[in-house]
Amino acid sequence: MPPSVVAWAPGHISGYFRRVIGETFRDTGSTGAGIVTSEGVIATVAESVETEIFVLSDGVENTGSPPIEYALDRLDLTASITTESKLPIGSGFGLSAASLLATLTGLNELFTLSMSSHEIAILAHEIEVQYSHGLGDVAAEVGGGLVCRTGPGIDVEVNRMAGLDDTIWCLCAGPIPTDGILRSAGMMDQIASAYPGRCPVDLPDFLSLSRRFAEASGLITPTVREILQACDDATVLASMTMLGEGVFAIGDDAEAVLSRFGKVYPTGIAEAGPAVLEVRE
């Protein structure tokens, strides 16, 4: 077996956001708030004469990942890469950013690239913005907690609320292609007008601000509406995952209410960002 490294990065449930377009990708991104999730992406990277990428997400295996392929090209590397996540792709869990952060963290260790965690984050953010796969997920996922980003990019101060032991219950009705929304000027205008303009004071406040944003953004689909209504009827705090056709909720009855609509994915709130888990010589 060739040498390999296993690395991890957290996911991110964005609750509300506003795009900010800067002069370069470094000051382009979003302001907003979200939950960095303990359910994220595990990347196993190994030396290989040819690049191969396997993506295992929510039990479904695919091959290939353009953003990861681009990252390898930028680093002039070939490698065998496998990413694994219990959460489904494209459903608002920030897995594109997490897969980049986990993969780059693993490659950095495997090939002794001597990249700092900040340099890894800069490259991941650039790729996210370039592919329109995300705006603020990398900035959120470099650390843990309930995060509030008051500026775009990863060189700005991020407010993090740590030590939260709540379980976040998530339900996914289907993917929403992030790039399609981010590339729509009309949607971006409506999203900007829905933006709350402040950071949450605690987790319940975050859910409440996110729900008001979702209602005003025009993004709620009929399926999400039905699920949110059931949560309202049961006095369960819930909102829509950005950007995915999904719902996230907290509280004692959240799992029971969401389970009526399909598979429920529980996650904790991460305490930290990307890390190397194992080095296999």
Ligand X SMILES: CC(C)(CO)[C@@H](O)C(=O)[O-]
Ligand Y SMILES: Nc1ncnc2c1ncn2[C@@H]1O[C@H](COP(=O)(O)OP(=O)(O)OP(=O)(O)O)[C@@H](O)[C@H]1O
Please give the residue ranges that form the binding site for ligand Y (CB under 6 A): 41, 55, 57, 65-68, 83, 85, 89-96, 99, 133-134, 177-178, 243-244
Q: Does 94 bind ligand X (CB under 6 A)?
A: yes
| Dihedral pair phi/psi, residue 202, rounded to 5° | -165, 180
Between CA 30 and CA 65, with CA 183 as vertex, the angle to 5 degrees is 85
On the question of a cis peptide bond just before residue 243, with omega within 30 degrees of 0, the verdict is yes
Amino acid in position 245: E
Rg (CA), the chain: 18
Which residue, 9 or 122, is less far from ligand Y as judged by CB? 9
Report in angstroms how near the CB of residue 97 gets to ligand X at its nearest: 7
Report in angstroms how near the CB of residue 139 gets to ligand X at its nearest: 8
Distance from the first to the final alpha carbon of the chain: 9
Q: Does 85 bind ligand X (CB under 6 A)?
A: no
Tell me which of ligand Y, ligand X, none is bound by residue 135, counting a contact when its beta carbon lies within the kind-specific cut-off of 5 to 8 angstroms: ligand X
Tokens of 266: 């529980």
d(CA 12, CA 92): 8
Residue of 9, 81, 135, 228 that binds ligand X (CB under 6 A): 135
User: Which range touches ligand X (CB under 6 A), out of 103-111, 134-142, 158-166, 272-280?
Assistant: 134-142
Which residue, 67 or 153, is less far from ligand Y as judged by CB? 67
Q: Does 142 bind ligand X (CB under 6 A)?
A: no
Tell me which of ligand X, ligand Y, none is bound by residue 36, counting a contact when its beta carbon lies within the kind-specific cut-off of 5 to 8 angstroms: none
d(CA 209, CA 204): 9
Helix (H) or strand (E) holding 146: strand 146-149
Q: Which positions touch ligand X (CB under 6 A)?
A: 14, 17, 30, 32, 34, 94, 134-137, 178, 242-243
